[in-house]
Amino acid sequence: MKITRTFNIGEYCVGGVISLEITDNTISIINRQWDQKMGALKSSDQSNSKIINRWDFDFTNNNLLNEINDVLNDLTTSYYADLIIKWIKEYEV
């Protein structure tokens, strides 16, 4: 099982895009560079844009949500970090 979600944040995020990949054992945060060729609107498909950085977290980590929150707060505002954390919590991480 692999669940993915891309958040097109824009100017309030380093690179403008954060993608998440959830598998059975890990969750990955992927920071991406906005690709203008795919569109300038937040509704454009940015899921295949250039990767700037990637963080992989193991679900067995007892401090998982705090570490994810730290990474997200370095990449974007607390508003978007909270929005992404809420989406992650839907999968009972």
The DSSP secondary-structure symbol of 11 reads T
- Could you give the CA distance from residue 46 to residue 33 in angstroms, rounded to a whole number? 9
pLDDT digits (tens, 9 = 90+) for 11-64: 999 999 999 999 988 999 999 999 888 888 788 888 889 999 999 999 888 899
Indicate whether 92 pLDDT > 70: no
Amino acid identity at 92: E
What pLDDT is attached to residue 19?
A: 95
How far, in Å, are 47, 53, 75, 77, 92 from residue 84 at the CA level? 16, 17, 12, 11, 13
Phi, psi of 9 (to 5 degrees): -95, -40
